[in-house]
Structure 1
């Protein structure tokens, strides 16, 4: 398939390359599975969310008159015309739930917040973002959203009703032949667009470029309205499902609608994410340590002039295929206390780099040293002097390694004696080393014998001897394994081959 796409005449056009990138990320991120999970989450939490909205409206007497308009707008914007039955049932459930006591209302609020956090998690997974803030911050953020959003909607619809009720304005508009219905549809669509833009910009725990969030919001809003019309038309003309499901016909239809809607919403997240990636240069993928050093170099240069580095600037030093690992690289630098995140979500040095050697930097990162051949693909003039200097050091290391390892394998094996098959491997306090978890070894260890007569050594010291350890030791012994220490060292019976 890839070869076929590469042969197309427009294969190297920017728009086609972007579509391929978008489709690949949508599939690789398992968005269809995420949509299925969010479908059932939404099904269980839809009534609590609407109940919260009703509770907020009830607490603000001035908005009581527009509550029905807001509910009708929500249903008409979020569901096709064939969902009238579902809307009625949901409305009835929400009305009854709004009469709950304090404990019940509290439970409804908790359910709503948990649902929003689930949605946030799905968005963050697409953006490759790990948790940055505590759970309390997320709860406060979403508590504000679920309480303020209904009030904003109520004020907006109240203002709309007041304007439409002005007789002189109606007479002026009537003179120009303007239909209020058209304006209502336009305003409704703009609300949908605004909702999607806010969703894509606000929910991920990363600075999403507003332009990319706006593009994603407009595209998904258009697709969403198209889906509503198509879905409503199909469900209206295709009525055989009612003969199959009978009174429950609305349930599978509603589930299908939720599933398709979530696929569209997640597509919008992918659009905003891939647009951000696509802004990067198309360069060859570098070794992770080179990318990390490039990012650290930018932060260091900014620090020298008293500035901080923004997320956009840091992403700018990475290539298009490196950008998906941007958050991983940032977390590595933050975790190892080389940089820190400011209140404005920008980055600044935390450690004086005069006290950190290149060797220390390498040892703290979970990546091997790059070899010279991994740097030959890059033109030295395109990089800062540090890159050329690093290349020189790696070249020296490679020469030293070659001198040390330049020996025939036969010579290496010639000096190694054959291991006696019947020898017994025993660990004592004298022979245990740091890699064998010497601290965990105890000469007075409890000896357990399993049903096959295999002795299993379990440590006793420092509360490390627990029933779970004994159970684990016996289970391992049944497989021919002897367990020593605190679980960090497993030695297999040498009769079956030694493994550690």
Structure 2
């Protein structure tokens, strides 16, 4: 097993597959304007940071098992998400504001929740841009997702913090083995961040995200976050220019820079998570656009027709086993077919809305590739139409006839 893994890894390196995939990811970062989006999220975070933490602490305090954990929660946030250079602004300003949360009126509480939801909505918008979807979930579904993130996230943090507190109190090896204690702290920090990021990458996008892809993206972001946090603390801890220039406000620009870096890391993990669906079959080599579009549409319809004959509904991941494209492109095509009333979607997956005998291939070709026009004044258009006419006439058949005459193999199990 180990020899086989080493051989496959070496083959990947020699074929430069990993490097090509890395270039593919970097191009996607550039196309999606990673740093501009992270800057936008930085501004939103400043508005919603206090409301978000206030709700988190309120949720944690609602559980008797987490009683007295507020101070540990604050320490956990500063130790795991914030470098030492920004401790001041978190401890003195952000968490200082939380002490006044109990004085809020009903309207104030509503505005508090709205600000926290605004942050998650902005994150969802950024993630949907990465996954290439403009079709949002229904409002009631989105609110359920938002509420789950605002409640489950703090509960997971509370459980983690309480267990860490017990581990710290019950273990004495930290005094005798500081190196191992530091390694344990770093490992737990990475693990907790990875769990929270996995939840974010898995739930927030409005498209199907495989659990293992979200796990890889979360691991990447958690590790890079830990490295960046220590580099950030080390660099600004030894450079006194900010303290000289800004004085008591030196923590503010450092905190802004860190929030920007933090979002760049989290978004890069989201881009990696999305790009992993292109790894199988080297789908990242394909160029997006019209090339091969009709072929892919036919493959989708054939798979759905075969499932239709067997009375099955296909989940999104089943298409990826037979069609070499990423989940975002695949879902986009399925949604377009849904728009034209060829397919329907339910909680279990996708299915045909009509009999394969009623699906005309020429109509599909005109919808997705080329549609003739009647403008007699357009000479170039008329010439193209004359060239295309013989090919389009050969498509005057149903999907069922195409499958029958082409002897399409049965691929649905």
Q: TM-score range by the shorter chain?
A: 0.7 to 0.9
Q: SS where residue 347 of structure 2 aligns?
A: coil
Counterpart residue number, 2:370: 368
- Contact 1:298–1:314 under 8 Å retained in 2: yes
Quote the offset at 1:76 in angstroms. 1.3
> Where does 1:93-132 land on structure 2 (aligned, <5 Å)?
93-132=97-136
Residue 24 of structure 1 corresponds to which residue in structure 2? Answer: 27
Contact persistence 2:280–2:324 (CA under 8 A): no
SS in 1 for 2:97: helix
| Greater per-residue helix proportion | 2
Q: Which has the larger radius of gyration?
A: 1
The reply to whether residue 33 of structure 1 matches residue 36 of structure 2 is yes
TM-score, with length taken from structure 2: 0.79
Aligned in 2, Cα 1:81/1:139: closer, same or farther, shift over 3 Å?
same
Name the counterpart of 1:264. 265
How far off is 1:177 after superposition? 6.1
Contact 1:11-1:17 within 8 A present in 2 as well:
no
Matched with 2:301 is 296
CA separation of 1:176 and 1:182: change in aligned 2, threshold 3 A: same
Correspondences of 1:283-322 after superposition (within 5 Å): 286-320=291-325
- Counterpart mapping for 1:102-181 below 5 A: 102-166=106-170, 170=171
SS at match of 1:49: helix
Structure 1: gaps spanning 5 or more residues: 1-9, 376-383, 391-500
Distance in 1 separating the partners of 2:342 and 2:236: 58
Q: Secondary structure at the match of 2:69?
A: helix
Superposed displacement of residue 352, structure 1? 2.1
Stretches of structure 2 lacking an aligned partner (at least 5 in a row): 1-12, 372-384, 392-399, 407-413
Shift, 1:69, TM fit: 0.7
Q: 1:385 to 1:267 in 2, by over 3 A?
A: farther
1:242 Cα deviation after fit: 2.4
**CA separation in 2, counterparts of 1:385 and 1:274?**
36
Which of structures 1 and 2 has the larger relative contact order (alpha carbons within 8 angstroms, sep 6+)? Answer: 2
Correspondence for 2:45 among 22, 34, 42: 42
Give the 3 Å change call, closer, same or farther, for CA 174–200 of structure 1 in structure 2: closer
Determine helix, strand or coil for the equivalent of 2:299: helix
1:347-404 Cα shifts (integer Å, max 9, x gaps): 11122232332344345x25316987xx9xxxxxxxx9948979xxxxxxxxxxxxxx
Provide the secondary structure at the position in 2 that maps to 1:65. coil
How many Å separate the matches in 2 of 1:385 and 1:22?
A: 41
- The question of 1:237 aligning with 2:233 is answered no
Matches of residues 94-493 of structure 1 in structure 2 within 5 Å?
Answer: 94-166=98-170, 170=171, 182-282=183-283, 286-320=291-325, 325-344=329-348, 346-363=349-366, 365-368=367-370, 386=402
Taking the aligned partners of 1:323 and 1:206, their CA distance within structure 2 comes to 8
The aligned counterpart of 1:76 is: 79
Displacement, 1:327? 2.8
For normalisation by structure 1, the TM-score amounts to 0.66
* Partners of 2:320 and 2:327 within 8 A in 1: yes
Give the whole-Å Cα distance in 2 for the aligned partners of 1:280 and 1:213.
Answer: 19
Task: Quote the offset at 1:324 in angstroms.
Answer: 5.0
CA distance in 1, matches of 2:121, 2:310: 39
